[in-house]
């Protein structure tokens, strides 16, 4: 066999990690959450997690409101959001006082939607239905963190990873975390684009050479070149839970808005799931 042929063979039949896969299930079972934390899965998808009528209620109310954009020096291309996320209020490896002030406006804004239910509570509790240690919104210095945001990355999210251990100098929450997830519930998806891509790659120091100068949260896609990946096309009502320490991205949307409810999830040392945004 020539080297060209063997290269072609490798392309046709790339090596695959059987643990790098997305599980699709009717619910977030104990086994799936434990498996995602342990590295047995890369993602867990639950289609129809939120009934369509409930999605429509939240989406209809959100569509009446103006979204803000994340700090555009940090997040580029811009991502629109409704609600407050801690990533816009990081200071000196910790959380700026502005976050707690902004949260007051956040709760007023969500109250102002006049919804018949609390969508973040429903998502939190649905996520933890089969988790024996329960769930709560995380606390920092005794104060409750934000419960979630609606995010609209119509132009996509660049290749990035999320890891509170690396983003904050000390524990973000009062109870230390031994595992982390990112939760998304899709309310509106575009007819094309908007895919979530996950790569079987965790940050390593050399990756900093690929960090984009105009977007401190993002990396050049070359950082994951040649790495096994999974592409997921979200559906309305679907909940997606990923291990956000794997590099991931969202592709640009075409034809409609891509709006998801999202929050971060940690497994705390007590076993309880703790959420924050």
Residue 46 binds which entry of ligand AKG, Fe ion, none, CB below 5-8 Å type-dependent: none
Q: Which does 197 bind (CB under 5 to 8 A by kind): ligand AKG, Fe ion, none?
A: none
DSSP code for 8: H
- Residues of this chain that interact with ligand AKG (CB under 6 A) are 157, 162, 182, 184, 196, 244, 248, 250, 260, 262
Give whichever of 145 and 270 is closer to ligand AKG, judged by the CB atom.
145
Q: Based on CB atoms, which residue is closest to ligand AKG, 137 or 260?
A: 260
> Where does this chain touch Fe ion (CB under 5 A) — which range of 31-39, 54-62, 161-169, 187-195?
161-169
Token output for 193: 């684009």
Interacting partner of 190 out of ligand AKG, Fe ion, none (Cβ under 5 to 8 A depending on kind): none
Helix H or strand E segment including 100: helix 97-111
Q: How far is the CB of 265 from Fe ion (least distance, A)?
A: 12
Torsion of CA 156, 194, 138, 199, to 10 degrees: -80
| CA separation, residue 128 to residues 135, 162, 163 (Å) | 6, 21, 21
- Of 180, 277, 182, 192, the C-alpha closest to 234 is 192
Q: Identify which of residues 111 and 242 has a Cβ nearer to ligand AKG in the complex.
A: 242
DSSP state of 210: G
Q: Which of 149, 154, 150 is nearest to 257 (CA)?
A: 154
Distance of CA 2 to the CA centre of its chain: 44
Nearer of residues 103 and 182 to ligand AKG, judged by Cβ: 182
Assess 162 for contact with Fe ion (CB under 5 A).
Answer: yes
Nearest-approach distance from CB 252 to ligand AKG, in angstroms: 12
Contact 112, 145 (CB under 8 A): no
Neighbouring C-beta atoms of residue 23, cutoff 10 Å: 18
Residue 184 partner contact from ligand AKG, Fe ion, none using kind-dependent CB cut-offs of 5 to 8 Å = ligand AKG
Q: How far is the CB of 157 from Fe ion (least distance, A)?
A: 6
Pick the closer one to ligand AKG by CB: 32 or 260: 260
Between CA 33 and CA 271 the distance in angstroms is 12
- For 89, which DSSP code? G
Q: Which stretch binds Fe ion (CB under 5 A): 14-22, 37-45, 117-125, 160-168?
A: 160-168
**Cross-strand partners of 224:** none
In the complex, the residues that contact Fe ion under the rule CB under 5 A are 162
């Amino acid at each position: 066999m020539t080297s060209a042929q063997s290269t072609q063979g490798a392309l046709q039949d790339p090596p695959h990690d059987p643990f790098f896969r997305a599980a699709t299930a009717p619910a977030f079972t104990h086994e799936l959450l434990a498996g995602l934390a342990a590295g047995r899965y890369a993602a867990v998808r639950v289609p129809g997690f939120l009934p369509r009528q409930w999605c429509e209620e939240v989406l209809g109310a959100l569509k009446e409101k103006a979204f803000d954009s994340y700090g555009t020096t940090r997040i580029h291309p811009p991502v629109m959001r409704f609600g407050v996320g801690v990533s816009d209020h990081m200071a000196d490896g910790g959380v700026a006082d502005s976050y707690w002030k902004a949260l007051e406006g956040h709760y007023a804004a969500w109250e102002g939607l006049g919804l018949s239910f609390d969508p973040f509570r429903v998502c939190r509790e649905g996520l933890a239905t089969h988790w024996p240690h329960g769930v709560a919104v995380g606390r920092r210095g005794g104060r409750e963190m934000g419960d979630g945001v609606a995010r609209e990355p119509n132009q996509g999210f660049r290749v990035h990873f999320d890891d509170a251990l690396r983003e904050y100098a000390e524990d973000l929450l009062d109870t230390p975390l031994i595992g982390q997830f990112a939760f998304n519930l899709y309310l509106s998806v575009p007819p094309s684009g908007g895919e979530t891509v996950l790569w079987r790659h965790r940050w390593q120091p050399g990756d900093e050479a690929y960090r984009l100068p105009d977007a401190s949260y993002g990396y050049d896609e070359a950082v994951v070149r040649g790495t096994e990946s999974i592409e997921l096309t979200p559906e309305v009502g679907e909940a997606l839970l990923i291990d956000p320490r794997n590099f991931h991205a969202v592709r640009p949307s075409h034809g409609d808005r891509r709006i998801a409810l999202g929050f971060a999830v940690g497994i705390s040392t007590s076993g309880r799931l703790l959420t924050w945004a």
